[in-house]
Amino acid sequence: MKPRKSKYPQIEALEITDIAAEGKSLGKYNDVVVFVPHTVPGDVVRVQINNKRRRFMEGYVLDFVQYSPLRVEPFCKHYGECGGCKWQALPYPMQLEYKQRQVAGQLRRLGGIELPEISLIIGSEKSEYYRNKLEFTFSDKRWVPRAEVAEGAATGDGDALGFHIPGMFDKVLDVEWCHLQPEPSNAIRLEVKRFVQENGMEFYNLREHRGLLRNIIVRTSTTGEVMVTVVFAREDAVARTALLEHLRVRFPEITSLNYIINEKLNDSIGDQEVFCYSGKPYMEERMENLTFRINPKSFYQTNSEQAYNLYKVARDFAELTGDEVVYDLYTGTGTIANFVAARAKRVVGIEYVPEAIEDAKQNSALNGIGNTLFFAGDMKDVLNAEFIAEHGRPDVIILDPPRAGIHGDVAATILAAAPRRIVYVSCNPATQARDLAIFDSAYRVTRVQPVDMFPHTHHVENVVQLVRR
C-alpha cells in the first residue's frame, strides 16, 4: 500500500533538542519549532509535517537518521500505536527531571509569583504495573498497526479488545499485553476476547452502535482483591450469563464480578445501574489503618501506592494539631478527608457527585470516623458565606480540583474565609499556577512538592502549601 502524498513538507534531518508538552519532543527547523512524538533529545529524525502554523509545526517520524544515546528500548510492543506511555524511550530518571522542570516552569511562567525552592519530585517505586484500574473497549473495527499496513493488510478488519486510538473514536487497538496493570488483568482480557469470539458474541460497532459487548473494566487492589465489570449494549440473558459464569469459574480470584446494561450512545456509566453477578458489590483498599470500599463507579487514585505518598504530603502540608476545622474541597469519595480526620477537630468535605459523597460517608462509618461531614453539590453553589457560617470557618482548606482548576467564585469564597493554610493538590500545574496567582495577594507559597503518579507519561501531580500573609 503506497503512502498518501502529504501537502506538507518532509524534514530530512531534524535534531530533537528538548521535551515539550503532552508527551512530545521538539526540534527547530529554520527557527520554527517542530513538535514530534515518540522521540527523545538527541534523536535525529526524518519527519513528515502534518500540521503547520505560523509559529510552530507538528509532524511524525518517518525514519531515525540517528538514535539518541539517551534512548532506551521501549518495553511494550504497542509503543507508538497506543496513545499511552509515550515516554517509554526516555529513561525514568530523566522523565522525573523533565517533570520537575515542567512544574517549576509552569508555576513561574504562568503564575508569576514568588516561589520557595521546589522539593525534588517523588518518583514512583513501580514504573510498570502500577495502575489499579483499566477500561478496555470492544470494537469490530480493529486498528491495523502501521507494520501490518506496510505488509498490505486490509484496514478496519477484525475484532479488537483494547484501547481507543487517539483522535479516532471508532478505532480500537487490539492489546496483546499491557504493562500498566498487574495480573490477572491481561489474563482476564485475553480470556474474555477468546471466549466471546469462540461463542459468536458480537463486538460493538462504535460508529453504527450495534453489537453486544461494549467495555470491560478491571480493578485490582493492594489487598489482592479483583473487581471486573462487563458492560453490555443490550440485555441478552443467555450470552450475559454464559460469559459471566465462565469468568467466575475461570478466575476464582475475582472477588467482585458485576455487569451493566448500557443502551445509550455513549460509554459513560455514571448514570447506569450496576448489577453484582457474584462476590461482593465492592472491593477494598487499605491505607495505613484505614479501609476504603470502592464500588464499580467510585473514583480512586489509579496508582494506589503513590496515592499514599501524595496524601502523606497533603497531610504534612496541612500541619494539623487536632484543633482545626478542615474543609476538603472536591473531596471525591472522601479519601483525603478520612485520611486526615484523626489529626483534625472536624473535616467538612464537598463534592459534585452524590454517589461519591455516599461512598465518603460509608468509608467514614466503616473506619469508625465520627468527625467528618460530607455534602454534595456544585462547589460554587455549596461553598458560600452561609455554608461557612453554619459549619464553621475553616482553619485549613485542602483542595484537589479537576484539571480545569477552581472557579473564580470558589477562589473568592476561599479568600473571604481566610483560612490560615491552604493545601492545593493539582493534576495540572498550569491551571494550578493560574489559581495561585489569584491567591497571591493574601497568601504566599511556602512549600512545593511534585509527585509522579503516572510513569512514562507527561502527567504530574503537584502539592503546594500556601500560608496567609
Q: Residue 156 has what pLDDT?
A: 59
Residues 82, 178, 276, 427: which is the catalytic one? 427
> What is the C-alpha to C-alpha distance for residues 251 and 21, in angstroms, rounded to an integer?
41
Q: Residue 2 has what pLDDT?
A: 47
Instruction: Give 299-314 pLDDT, tens digit per residue.
Output: 899 999 999 999 999 9
Q: Residue 157 has what pLDDT?
A: 67
Instruction: Give 2-18 pLDDT, tens digit per residue.
Output: 445 568 889 999 999 99
In 308-411 the beta strands, taken as DSSP E runs, fall at 325-329, 346-351, 372-376, 396-399
Residue-wise over 311-332: b if at least 16 C-beta within 10 A, else e? bbbbbebbbbeeebbbbbbbbb
Instruction: Give 72-82 pLDDT, tens digit per residue.
Output: 999 999 998 89
Backbone φ and ψ of 375, nearest 5°: -135, 140
Q: Residue 146 has what pLDDT?
A: 73
Instruction: Name the helix (H) or strand (E) containing 433.
Output: helix 429-439
Instruction: Give 222-275 pLDDT, tens digit per residue.
Output: 999 999 999 999 999 999 999 999 999 999 999 999 999 999 999 999 999 999
**DSSP secondary structure of 124-173:** -S-SSS--SEEEEEEESSBPPPHHHHHTTPPSS-S-EEEEEETTEEEEEE
Instruction: Give 42-56 pLDDT, tens digit per residue.
Output: 999 999 999 999 899
> What is the C-alpha to C-alpha distance for residues 274 and 282, in angstroms, rounded to an integer?
11
Query: What helix, strand, coil percent values describe the chain, rounded to 5?
Result: 25, 30, 40
Q: Do 280 and 250 contact (CB within 8 A), yes or no?
A: no
For the four alpha carbons of 65, 66, 71 and 72, in that order, the dihedral sign comes to positive
Determine whether 427 is an active site residue.
Answer: yes
